[in-house]
Amino acid sequence: MNIFRFLGDLSHLVSIWLLLHKMTTSKSCTGISFKTQALYALVFATRYLDLLYGSWHSMYNVAMKIFFIGSSLYILYLIKVPFKPTRDPAIDTFKLEYLVGGALIMSLIANYEYSFPEILWSFSIWLEAVAILPQLFIIQRTGEAENITTHYVAALGAYRGLYIPNWLYRYFAEGFFDPIAVIAGIIQTVIYLDFFYIYFTKVLKGQKFELP
Protein backbone atom coordinates (compact mmCIF):
# COMPACT_ATOMS: atom_id res chain seq x y z
CA MET A 1 0.00 0.00 0.00
CA ASN A 2 1.34 3.41 -0.96
CA ILE A 3 -0.06 6.91 -0.53
CA PHE A 4 -1.38 7.18 -4.12
CA ARG A 5 -3.35 3.96 -3.90
CA PHE A 6 -4.67 4.84 -0.47
CA LEU A 7 -5.77 8.33 -1.59
CA GLY A 8 -7.28 6.77 -4.72
CA ASP A 9 -9.34 4.31 -2.68
CA LEU A 10 -10.34 7.13 -0.33
CA SER A 11 -11.45 9.17 -3.32
CA HIS A 12 -13.53 6.19 -4.48
CA LEU A 13 -15.25 6.07 -1.07
CA VAL A 14 -15.86 9.83 -1.22
CA SER A 15 -17.45 9.47 -4.68
CA ILE A 16 -19.93 6.88 -3.40
CA TRP A 17 -20.68 9.04 -0.37
CA LEU A 18 -21.33 12.05 -2.67
CA LEU A 19 -23.69 10.02 -4.82
CA LEU A 20 -25.64 8.71 -1.82
CA HIS A 21 -25.67 12.21 -0.33
CA LYS A 22 -27.06 13.69 -3.54
CA MET A 23 -29.82 11.11 -3.78
CA THR A 24 -30.89 11.03 -0.13
CA THR A 25 -30.88 14.80 0.44
CA SER A 26 -32.66 15.70 -2.81
CA LYS A 27 -34.74 12.49 -2.71
CA SER A 28 -34.07 12.10 -6.41
CA CYS A 29 -31.72 10.46 -8.86
CA THR A 30 -32.15 13.11 -11.56
CA GLY A 31 -29.11 13.28 -13.81
CA ILE A 32 -27.69 9.99 -12.53
CA SER A 33 -27.21 7.18 -15.04
CA PHE A 34 -28.78 3.95 -13.87
CA LYS A 35 -26.83 2.20 -16.62
CA THR A 36 -23.47 3.39 -15.27
CA GLN A 37 -24.49 2.31 -11.76
CA ALA A 38 -25.62 -1.10 -13.06
CA LEU A 39 -22.25 -1.52 -14.83
CA TYR A 40 -20.37 -0.70 -11.60
CA ALA A 41 -22.44 -3.29 -9.72
CA LEU A 42 -21.47 -5.81 -12.42
CA VAL A 43 -17.81 -4.72 -12.23
CA PHE A 44 -17.73 -5.21 -8.46
CA ALA A 45 -19.59 -8.51 -8.59
CA THR A 46 -17.28 -9.98 -11.25
CA ARG A 47 -14.07 -8.70 -9.62
CA TYR A 48 -14.73 -8.99 -5.92
CA LEU A 49 -16.59 -12.26 -5.67
CA ASP A 50 -13.09 -13.73 -5.69
CA LEU A 51 -13.67 -13.44 -1.95
CA LEU A 52 -15.72 -16.61 -2.32
CA TYR A 53 -12.75 -18.64 -3.51
CA GLY A 54 -10.35 -17.34 -0.92
CA SER A 55 -8.63 -14.32 -2.46
CA TRP A 56 -8.09 -12.61 0.91
CA HIS A 57 -5.19 -10.16 0.83
CA SER A 58 -5.85 -8.09 3.96
CA MET A 59 -8.68 -6.93 6.18
CA TYR A 60 -8.54 -3.59 4.33
CA ASN A 61 -8.94 -5.31 0.97
CA VAL A 62 -11.79 -7.56 2.15
CA ALA A 63 -13.69 -4.75 3.89
CA MET A 64 -13.44 -2.50 0.82
CA LYS A 65 -14.65 -5.27 -1.49
CA ILE A 66 -17.67 -5.97 0.70
CA PHE A 67 -18.41 -2.24 0.94
CA PHE A 68 -18.23 -1.71 -2.84
CA ILE A 69 -20.48 -4.68 -3.62
CA GLY A 70 -22.99 -3.68 -0.91
CA SER A 71 -23.11 0.04 -1.71
CA SER A 72 -23.47 -0.54 -5.46
CA LEU A 73 -26.47 -2.81 -4.88
CA TYR A 74 -27.98 -0.27 -2.47
CA ILE A 75 -27.58 2.49 -5.09
CA LEU A 76 -29.37 0.34 -7.69
CA TYR A 77 -32.16 -0.23 -5.18
CA LEU A 78 -32.48 3.53 -4.47
CA ILE A 79 -32.74 4.36 -8.17
CA LYS A 80 -35.16 1.54 -8.96
CA VAL A 81 -37.48 1.68 -5.93
CA PRO A 82 -37.84 4.84 -3.79
CA PHE A 83 -36.55 7.34 -6.38
CA LYS A 84 -37.89 5.62 -9.48
CA PRO A 85 -40.34 8.46 -10.34
CA THR A 86 -37.43 10.93 -10.54
CA ARG A 87 -35.50 8.96 -13.15
CA ASP A 88 -35.83 9.85 -16.82
CA PRO A 89 -34.95 6.71 -18.81
CA ALA A 90 -35.36 8.68 -22.07
CA ILE A 91 -31.99 10.42 -21.52
CA ASP A 92 -30.15 7.30 -20.27
CA THR A 93 -29.92 5.66 -23.66
CA PHE A 94 -26.28 4.68 -24.10
CA LYS A 95 -26.13 1.18 -25.60
CA LEU A 96 -24.81 -1.17 -22.92
CA GLU A 97 -24.44 -4.03 -25.40
CA TYR A 98 -21.37 -2.36 -26.92
CA LEU A 99 -19.68 -1.82 -23.57
CA VAL A 100 -20.40 -5.27 -22.15
CA GLY A 101 -19.66 -6.95 -25.51
CA GLY A 102 -16.40 -5.02 -25.92
CA ALA A 103 -15.28 -5.87 -22.38
CA LEU A 104 -16.12 -9.53 -22.98
CA ILE A 105 -14.06 -9.64 -26.18
CA MET A 106 -11.14 -7.82 -24.49
CA SER A 107 -11.27 -10.23 -21.54
CA LEU A 108 -10.89 -13.17 -23.93
CA ILE A 109 -7.97 -11.52 -25.76
CA ALA A 110 -6.15 -9.96 -22.79
CA ASN A 111 -5.98 -12.07 -19.65
CA TYR A 112 -3.27 -13.74 -17.58
CA GLU A 113 -4.68 -17.26 -17.82
CA TYR A 114 -7.55 -19.02 -19.59
CA SER A 115 -9.38 -19.78 -16.38
CA PHE A 116 -12.80 -18.63 -15.25
CA PRO A 117 -11.57 -16.41 -12.37
CA GLU A 118 -8.89 -14.72 -14.52
CA ILE A 119 -11.24 -14.05 -17.45
CA LEU A 120 -13.82 -12.69 -15.00
CA TRP A 121 -11.17 -10.43 -13.45
CA SER A 122 -10.06 -9.15 -16.86
CA PHE A 123 -13.70 -8.59 -17.90
CA SER A 124 -14.26 -6.46 -14.79
CA ILE A 125 -11.14 -4.39 -15.54
CA TRP A 126 -12.15 -3.63 -19.14
CA LEU A 127 -15.78 -3.00 -18.17
CA GLU A 128 -14.76 -0.57 -15.43
CA ALA A 129 -12.67 1.35 -17.98
CA VAL A 130 -15.81 2.33 -19.91
CA ALA A 131 -18.55 2.14 -17.23
CA ILE A 132 -18.68 5.93 -16.76
CA LEU A 133 -19.61 6.53 -20.43
CA PRO A 134 -23.44 6.38 -19.96
CA GLN A 135 -23.09 8.95 -17.15
CA LEU A 136 -20.91 11.27 -19.26
CA PHE A 137 -23.35 10.74 -22.14
CA ILE A 138 -26.24 12.07 -19.96
CA ILE A 139 -24.18 15.13 -19.00
CA GLN A 140 -23.31 15.73 -22.64
CA ARG A 141 -26.89 15.26 -23.80
CA THR A 142 -28.43 17.57 -21.25
CA GLY A 143 -25.48 19.98 -21.61
CA GLU A 144 -25.32 20.63 -17.88
CA ALA A 145 -25.14 18.88 -14.52
CA GLU A 146 -25.86 19.63 -10.90
CA ASN A 147 -22.69 20.52 -8.99
CA ILE A 148 -23.00 17.52 -6.68
CA THR A 149 -23.17 15.19 -9.68
CA THR A 150 -20.01 16.74 -11.10
CA HIS A 151 -18.24 16.34 -7.73
CA TYR A 152 -19.24 12.67 -7.80
CA VAL A 153 -17.80 12.16 -11.30
CA ALA A 154 -14.68 14.16 -10.37
CA ALA A 155 -14.05 12.02 -7.27
CA LEU A 156 -14.39 8.87 -9.38
CA GLY A 157 -11.99 10.29 -11.96
CA ALA A 158 -9.53 11.24 -9.20
CA TYR A 159 -9.64 7.66 -7.92
CA ARG A 160 -8.66 6.38 -11.36
CA GLY A 161 -6.09 9.13 -11.90
CA LEU A 162 -4.37 8.35 -8.59
CA TYR A 163 -3.92 4.71 -9.57
CA ILE A 164 -1.47 5.82 -12.28
CA PRO A 165 1.21 7.23 -9.88
CA ASN A 166 0.45 4.14 -7.76
CA TRP A 167 1.50 1.89 -10.65
CA LEU A 168 4.60 4.01 -11.32
CA TYR A 169 5.50 3.76 -7.65
CA ARG A 170 4.91 0.01 -7.58
CA TYR A 171 6.93 -0.52 -10.74
CA PHE A 172 9.99 1.26 -9.37
CA ALA A 173 9.68 0.38 -5.68
CA GLU A 174 8.34 -3.19 -5.87
CA GLY A 175 9.06 -4.30 -9.44
CA PHE A 176 5.31 -4.84 -9.75
CA PHE A 177 3.75 -4.33 -13.19
CA ASP A 178 0.26 -5.37 -14.23
CA PRO A 179 -0.04 -4.43 -17.93
CA ILE A 180 -3.77 -5.20 -18.24
CA ALA A 181 -4.73 -3.04 -15.26
CA VAL A 182 -2.36 -0.27 -16.40
CA ILE A 183 -3.55 -0.10 -20.03
CA ALA A 184 -7.26 -0.30 -19.09
CA GLY A 185 -6.66 2.22 -16.30
CA ILE A 186 -5.00 4.71 -18.64
CA ILE A 187 -7.90 4.36 -21.11
CA GLN A 188 -10.32 4.94 -18.25
CA THR A 189 -8.49 8.06 -17.09
CA VAL A 190 -8.33 9.47 -20.64
CA ILE A 191 -12.15 9.15 -20.86
CA TYR A 192 -12.39 11.67 -17.99
CA LEU A 193 -10.12 14.33 -19.53
CA ASP A 194 -12.84 16.35 -21.29
CA PHE A 195 -14.96 16.28 -18.18
CA PHE A 196 -12.06 17.39 -15.97
CA TYR A 197 -11.29 20.30 -18.28
CA ILE A 198 -14.77 21.77 -17.76
CA TYR A 199 -14.81 20.79 -14.08
CA PHE A 200 -11.59 22.70 -13.37
CA THR A 201 -12.35 25.71 -15.58
CA LYS A 202 -15.97 26.16 -14.45
CA VAL A 203 -17.23 24.23 -11.40
CA LEU A 204 -14.22 24.87 -9.18
CA LYS A 205 -14.47 28.58 -10.03
CA GLY A 206 -18.04 28.65 -8.74
CA GLN A 207 -19.80 28.40 -12.07
CA LYS A 208 -22.38 25.82 -13.10
CA PHE A 209 -21.28 22.82 -15.17
CA GLU A 210 -22.51 23.79 -18.62
CA LEU A 211 -21.23 22.70 -21.96
CA PRO A 212 -20.34 25.49 -24.40
Interface residues toward another protein, by CB under 8 A: 5, 9, 12, 47, 50, 55, 57-58, 61, 64-65, 68, 112-113, 115, 117-118, 121, 163, 166, 177-179, 181
Query: Is the Cβ of residue 37 or residue 166 nearer to another protein in the bound state?
Result: 166
Cα distances (angstroms) measured from residue 88 to each of 33, 38, 45, 95, 205: 9, 15, 26, 16, 29
Long-range contact list for 195-199, CB < 8 A, 24+ apart? 195/136, 195/139, 195/150, 195/153, 195/154, 195/157, 196/154, 196/157, 199/150, 199/153, 199/154
Query: Is the Cβ of residue 31 or residue 185 nearer to another protein in the bound state?
Result: 185
Q: Nearest distance from residue 113's CB to another protein, in Å? A: 4
Query: Is the Cβ of residue 125 or residue 153 nearer to another protein in the bound state?
Result: 125
Q: Nearest distance from residue 76's CB to another protein, in Å? A: 20
Query: Is the Cβ of residue 180 or residue 191 nearer to another protein in the bound state?
Result: 180
Contact 144, 126 (CB under 8 A): no
Q: Nearest distance from residue 57's CB to another protein, in Å? A: 5
Q: Nearest distance from residue 131's CB to another protein, in Å? A: 14
